[in-house]
Amino acid sequence: MVYFDDGTSKKRRGLYRKNRPYWLLYLLIGIALGAFLFAVALPKIVETNWLPYQFYVIPEQEEASDQGADQTTNHAEMLNRLTPVNVDISTQVTAIVEDVIPAVVGVENIQTQSFNFWEQEAYDGGTGSGVIYRQEGDRAYIVTNHHVIEGASQIEVILEDGTRLMAELKGSDMFTDLAVLEIDASEVDVVIEFGNSELTKVGEPVIAIGNPLGLDLSGSVTQGIISGTQRAIPQDFSGDGRADWQTEVIQTDAAINPGNSGGALINMSGQLIGINSMKIAESAVEGIGFAIPIDEAIPVMQELEETGQMTRAFLGVEAYSLTDIPQTEWRRSLELPNDVDGGIYIQSVEPFSPADEAGLETYDVITELDGDPIYTIVDLRKHLYQEKQPGQEMEITYYRDGERNKTTVELSTQ
């Protein structure tokens, strides 16, 4: 029994009896209101499409005694009134892969080790992927990564059906990590179509095709999105811990593993927008892969195919970033004024080079090239390799003994 705070129960029972008719009245009003909402208000709301979901009304059979064929007919009519959900197993992705995958090949790096004049041993220097991008007459051309074929004595290309063809290396470039191979085109059926990597957007779905972990998993397909564009990834070619170059890449979360290098990054139109190149391989990192944008790769591929190497402008200096030395030395040893906040200092000048002929000396500090600020050796190389051509002139702003100077050099061929 429930009591009030004063311990009595008599008042409690009297109050309950007294208010009982009101509770019955509230109950009847609630039932009537609920019936009204269900019978009148809800259909009106459904008709106005205010609800975030759809109602489907299944009609009752008019005569309960009609069964058999009539029941089957009514059931079919009822289903026809519903909106069907169609699931097409043959999706756009499968169609794209079916069309494109014959153009993605395996690339095997065969290296030879000599023990003496008489004994030699060939061994597998690694496998990667490549993409058939052009066919002319009886020859076909494949793009892959420089690091896939680096050090190879022989290169074999493995087609989708397992056919092995010997490939000729037309040329490769370490800075862009690209290489071009040439093969017999008699077995080639599909050539990939180029897309426009400059039009790619973050969040756009993409497909990566290659041979992860070797040829046993050839033709593997992974799907993801564009995670970022115009990423700059530092590269250390000399192994001295300093960045020698910065590669501009597309970032994707499509799985890229060892062996995928040189494979294709495809958009949803089945076009090649990138050459899979690298990934960040750390235990705490997942889903960060990179591809060389096809718009950046095409000029390199054309020059490698035609000349076998990249022709770049040459200055003739060994230089390092000011950030590699303490700022106290900026003022004390290099005598730089306080308004200089970055640049590169010259460690040595190659004799008879454009820099030597222009009068540059050891410990000169370069701060601008053609009026553009320079902070690292990567900035210098990118300006030389992407903005200038051999034979062109370049204006250099530099400091020597605390004084600001300018000189003009005529660049030669590297």
- The reply to whether 70 belongs to the active site is no
pLDDT at 413 over 70: yes
Q: Rounded distance, CA 292 to CA 275, Å?
A: 5
User: 154-167: per-residue pLDDT in tens?
Assistant: 999 999 888 999 99
Residue 259's nearest CA partner among 152, 107, 98, 112 is: 107
Write down the pLDDT at residue 12: 43
pLDDT, average across residues 165-173: 95
Residues contacting residue 195 through CB under 8 Å, at least 6 positions apart: 266, 267, 269, 271, 272, 273, 294
- Is residue 252 within 8 Å of 265, Cβ to Cβ? yes
Two structure tokens written together for 343: 């640049």
Secondary structure of the chain in the HEC alphabet? CCCCCCCCCHHHHHHHHHHHHHHHHHHHHHHHHHHHHHHHHHHHHHHCCCCCCCCCCCCCCCCCCCCCHHHHHHHHHHHHCCCCCCCCCCCHHHHHHHHHHHHEEEEEEEEEEECCCCCEEEEEEEEEEEEEEEEECCEEEEEECHHHHCCCCEEEEECCCCCEEEEEEEEEECCCCEEEEEEEHHHCCCCCEECCHHHCCCCCEEEEEECCCCHHHCCEEEEEEEEEEEEEEEECCCCCCCCCEEEEEEEECCCCCCCCCCCEEECCCCEEEEEEEEECCCCCCCCCEEEEEHHHHHHHHHHHHHHCCCCCEECCEEEEEHHHCCHHHHHHCCCCCCCCCCCEEEEEECCCCHHHHCCCCCCCEEEEECCEECCCHHHHHHHHHHHCCCCCEEEEEEEECCEEEEEEEECEEC
348 included as an active-site residue:
no
Q: Known catalytic residue: 412? A: no
Tens of pLDDT, residue by residue over 264-317, are 999 999 999 999 987 665 556 667 889 999 998 999 999 999 999 888 899 999
CA neighbours closer than 13 Å in the CB half-sphere of residue 150: 12
Output 213 or 377, whichever has higher pLDDT: 377
Residue 121 has pLDDT above 60, yes or no: no
**Given the residues 261, 277, 379, 383, the one annotated as active site:** 261
Residue 252 to residue 291: CA distance in whole angstroms: 8
- Tokens 């701060």 belong to which residue? 367
- CA 123 vs CA 147, 179, 216, 361: distances in Å: 17, 21, 18, 47
Q: What is the pLDDT of residues 65-119, one digit of tens each?
A: 445 445 555 555 544 554 555 545 447 888 888 999 999 999 999 887 765 555 5
At 318, the pLDDT band (50, 70, 90 cuts) reads: confident
- The one catalytic residue in 147, 253, 364, 383 is 147
pLDDT surpassing 90 at residue 56: no
Provide the pLDDT for residue 124.
Answer: 60
Most trustworthy range by pLDDT among 40-44, 70-74, 180-184, 373-377: 180-184
Bridge partners of 272, per DSSP, are: 194, 266
Ranges 13-17, 111-115, 372-376: which has the least confidence: 13-17
pLDDT at 386: 85
Q: Is the pLDDT of residue 229 over 50?
A: yes
What pLDDT sits at residue 281? 54
CA distance 387 to 410: 14
Furthest-apart CA atoms within the chain: distance in Å: 118
73: Cβ–Cβ under 8 A, 6 or more apart, which residues? none
What percentage of the chain has pLDDT greater than the value 70? 74
Q: Is the pTM of this model over 0.85?
A: no
Q: Pick the catalytic residue: 177, 253, 364, 379?
A: 177
What does the mean pLDDT of the chain come to? Answer: 80
